[in-house]
């Protein structure tokens, strides 16, 4: 039985989208990337709700186009020293010595453009996958499923998210009051007389909110006693060392080891800190079997692309050749479209 | 409730946390300097490695800062300031990304200390990313960088009156540029790819890469950084004194644990 797309656990959508983004990051084959983007966009367009965040996919497409445009512009203006098929030549501008051997203008080759295009397409596809998660996952419900250690931080975020729209109303009230008093200051002069009352109002409201939170027992829901500082700091140091080793030295095994130890330590520290919280959750999000399948389909799609042979996943640009489509990338795209079968659009 | 808690262990703990944050930031933003082409990752993927590691670190730090010694009033203040900052962000989005958001983070960090400043900076960016659906691999970086901006504001030396505003606006100018530089630096190989003439060269000498970066940065984002610095300095000078007064008064009533730097 299919579940409603909006009631699916928000972290399942994030898992699916991160799997899709990982799949896109593993290939520069434009055909595969196109298929992945089509599958992800189809799921978003057919399953998104009417909520404000559901409209964000367009913004991510714009951002992706922007990244593509910037990279291609730089590739054309500054040229890439590769290949022999010259498409056209720009007049070359000589630069002084301190410009570190940078060239402006010159020959633009097919190989250079293709290389830039493939690499930027990969980035653009990843951005669209992230946009899909932003469009499908309900941020407020995602916040309800944060680890207990982050309970206080999530309370602060929830306050922020619910106060932000009220600020607009508060601003309008202040503006109306100014007009009624016959104030006709404009521009920069008017700024303090609008911003200060709005801010004072917001601070006032936060203190009232805090009083009512305390009256309901907030702040006594965490048992005293601090989490294990040595564990937490050690874990973070290990994570930092791990990333340093993974990026900065060929000792890959040691680096990933440090990363794993650090991750386990950080999770343990968060759990220990969460244990001290004695709060129950009202109507927690349910992690259903559909959520499992949606999340796993994204991860398996990434696995499919990873299993594709290097030559098929990264078509040659020098010499340029027509990219071939691997059967496994068809499987990956089909898997990314699987949420269409597992979920239904909520009746509007 | 904070009066029962001895002050020193909490402050030591916070200091330990913030020092680790500084260490993590050096690695996260300075990675192109120590990147080795012989390692298992590709240079354009490195920001993605951090995009996986940084959320874990941010979770630990923010959890620790908010659990230890933040009562309901401090949290409500944090939430409201983050809301104002998040609401300020779309106002400047058409012009140059996150504009006025820095003003509030700096003033909040100045009024309530480095730990609050870090939490405010990172939570503001997080809330505004949720409001505008802008969650992506850049978000952990933005959270860390703006957290550092708030933390730095909390560590400024003591000053009062107009000298405080002068100090804050000088810091604002510095922070606006530093934020742009470190963000661009961390994402430089990612935005430009590796093949362009202004690109990062993995394994090249540090000075050579820095030279290329300065050229790239001056060519692409000098104007943005300058705009960000000017707008925020203007806000600090025009609104700073009044906003500091409002939130300090509320903070005194709420007896927020961390004393304001001016009264230390």
State pLDDT tens for residues A205-217. 888 888 887 787 7
Based on the fold, state whether residues A315 and A249 are members of the same structural domain.
no
Give the domain extent around A108: 3-139+290-344
- pTM for the structure as a whole: 0.76
Nearest to A67 by CA among A22, A17, A117: A117
Q: Is the bond leading into A319 cis (omega within 30 degrees of zero)?
A: yes
pLDDT at A97: 59
| A221, A237, A267 - which closes a domain | A221
User: B58-114 pLDDT, tens per residue?
Assistant: 888 888 777 766 777 888 888 888 888 777 765 544 334 456 788 889 998 988 888
Using the beta-carbon criterion (under 8 Å), do A266 and B131 form an inter-chain contact?
Answer: no
CATH code of the domain containing B226: 1.10.1760.20
User: B189-230 pLDDT, tens per residue?
Assistant: 766 665 565 667 666 677 777 777 777 777 766 777 787 788
Contact B183, B145 (CB under 8 A): yes
Neighbours of B259 (CB within 10 A): 14
Beta bridge partners of A317: A320
Based on the fold, state whether residues A21 and A135 are members of the same structural domain.
yes
Using the beta-carbon criterion (under 8 Å), do A127 and B62 form an inter-chain contact?
Answer: no
- In chain B, residues with a C-beta closer than 8 Å to the C-beta of A143 are 130
Based on the fold, state whether residues A38 and A128 are members of the same structural domain.
yes
What domain count does chain A have?
3
Q: Per-residue pLDDT for B38 more than 70?
A: no
| Token representation of residue B133 | 């659906």
- In chain B, residues with a C-beta closer than 8 Å to the C-beta of A56 are 132-134
Based on the fold, state whether residues A277 and A299 are members of the same structural domain.
no
Q: Per-residue pLDDT for B3 more than 70?
A: no
ipTM above 0.85 for this complex: no
Based on the fold, state whether residues A66 and A174 are members of the same structural domain.
no
Give the domain extent around B71: 2-263
Asked if A237 is an interface residue toward chain B (Cβ–Cβ < 8 A), one would say yes
Unique residue bearing structure tokens 């949290």: B75
Radius of gyration of chain A (CA): 26
Asked if A133 is an interface residue toward chain B (Cβ–Cβ < 8 A), one would say yes
Based on the fold, state whether residues A116 and A16 are members of the same structural domain.
yes
What domain count does chain B have?
1
| Token representation of residue B17 | 């946390």
Using the beta-carbon criterion (under 8 Å), do B215 and A210 form an inter-chain contact?
Answer: no
Based on the fold, state whether residues A135 and A15 are members of the same structural domain.
yes
Q: How far apart (Å, rounded) are the C-alpha atoms in residues B28 and B20? A: 12
Based on the fold, state whether residues A155 and A213 are members of the same structural domain.
yes
pLDDT at A14: 87
| A180, A196, A221 - which closes a domain | A221
Asked if A68 is an interface residue toward chain B (Cβ–Cβ < 8 A), one would say no
In a 13 Å sphere around the CA of B227, the CA atoms on its Cβ side amount to: 12
Q: Per-residue pLDDT for A251 more than 80?
A: no
| Token representation of residue B177 | 């540029």
Tell me the percentage of chain A whose pLDDT exceeds 70: 89
Nearest to A41 by CA among A166, A147, A133, A107: A133
Based on the fold, state whether residues A18 and A103 are members of the same structural domain.
yes
| A221, A239, A273 - which closes a domain | A221
């Amino acid at each position: 039985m299919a579940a409603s797309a909006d009631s699916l656990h928000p972290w399942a959508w994030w898992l699916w989208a991160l799997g899709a983004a990982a799949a896109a990051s593993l290939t520069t084959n434009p055909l595969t990337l196109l298929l992945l983007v089509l599958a992800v966009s189809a799921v978003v367009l057919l399953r998104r709700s009417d909520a404000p965040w559901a409209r964000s996919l367009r913004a991510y497409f714009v951002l992706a186009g922007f990244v593509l445009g910037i990279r291609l512009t730089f590739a054309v203006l500054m040229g890439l020293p590769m290949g022999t098929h010259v498409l056209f030549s720009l007049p070359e501008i000589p630069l002084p010595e301190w410009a570190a051997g940078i060239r402006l203008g010159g020959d633009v080759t097919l190989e250079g453009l293709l290389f830039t295009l493939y690499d930027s397409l990969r980035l653009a596809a990843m951005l669209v996958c992230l946009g899909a998660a932003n469009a499908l996952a309900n941020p407020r419900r995602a916040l309800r499923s944060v680890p207990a250690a982050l309970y206080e931080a999530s309370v602060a975020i929830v306050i922020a998210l619910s106060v932000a729209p009220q600020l607009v109303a508060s601003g309008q009230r202040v503006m109306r009051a100014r007009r009624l008093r016959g104030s006709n200051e404009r521009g920069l002069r008017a700024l303090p007389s609008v911003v200060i009352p709005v801010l004072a109002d917001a601070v006032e409201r936060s203190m009232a909110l805090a009083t009512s939170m305390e009256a309901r027992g907030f702040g006594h829901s965490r048992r005293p006693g601090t989490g294990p500082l040595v564990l937490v700091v050690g874990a973070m140091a290990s994570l930092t060392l791990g990333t340093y080793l993974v990026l900065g030295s060929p000792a890959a095994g040691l680096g990933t080891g440090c990363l794993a130890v650090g991750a386990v330590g950080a999770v343990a520290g968060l759990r220990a800190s969460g244990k001290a919280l004695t709060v129950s959750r009202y109507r927690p999000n349910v992690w259903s079997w559909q959520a499992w399948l949606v999340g796993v389909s994204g991860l398996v799609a990434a696995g499919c692309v990873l299993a594709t042979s290097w030559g098929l996943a990264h078509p040659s640009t020098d010499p340029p050749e027509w990219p071939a489509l691997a059967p496994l990338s068809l499987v990956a795209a089909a898997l990314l479209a699987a949420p269409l079968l597992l979920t239904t659009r909520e009746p509007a | 409730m904070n009066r029962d808690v001895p002050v020193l262990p909490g402050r030591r703990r916070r200091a330990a946390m913030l020092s680790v944050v500084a260490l993590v930031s050096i690695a996260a933003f300075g990675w192109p300097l120590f990147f080795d082409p012989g390692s298992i990752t590709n240079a354009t993927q490195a920001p993605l490695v951090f995009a996986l590691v940084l959320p874990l670190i941010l979770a630990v730090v923010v959890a620790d800062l908010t659990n230890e010694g933040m009562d309901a009033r401090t949290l409500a203040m944090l939430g409201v300031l983050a809301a104002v900052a998040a609401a300020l962000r779309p106002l400047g989005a058409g012009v140059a990304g996150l504009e006025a958001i820095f003003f509030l983070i700096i003033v909040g960090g100045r009024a309530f200390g480095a730990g609050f400043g870090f939490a405010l900076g990172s939570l503001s960016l997080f809330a505004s990313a949720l409001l505008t659906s802008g969650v992506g691999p850049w978000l952990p970086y933005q959270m860390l960088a703006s957290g550092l901006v708030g933390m730095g504001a909390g560590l400024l030396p003591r000053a009062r009156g107009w000298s405080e505003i002068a100090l804050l606006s000088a810091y604002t100018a510095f922070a606006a540029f530093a934020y742009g530089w470190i963000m661009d630096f961390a994402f430089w190989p990612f935005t430009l790819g590796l093949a362009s003439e202004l690109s990062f060269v993995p394994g090249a000498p540090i000075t050579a890469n820095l030279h290329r970066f300065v050229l790239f940065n001056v060519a692409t984002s000098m104007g943005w950084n300058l705009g960000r610095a000017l707008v925020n300095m203007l806000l600090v000078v025009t609104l700073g004194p009044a906003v500091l007064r409002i939130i300090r008064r509320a903070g005194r009533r709420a007896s927020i644990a961390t004393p304001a730097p001016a009264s230390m």
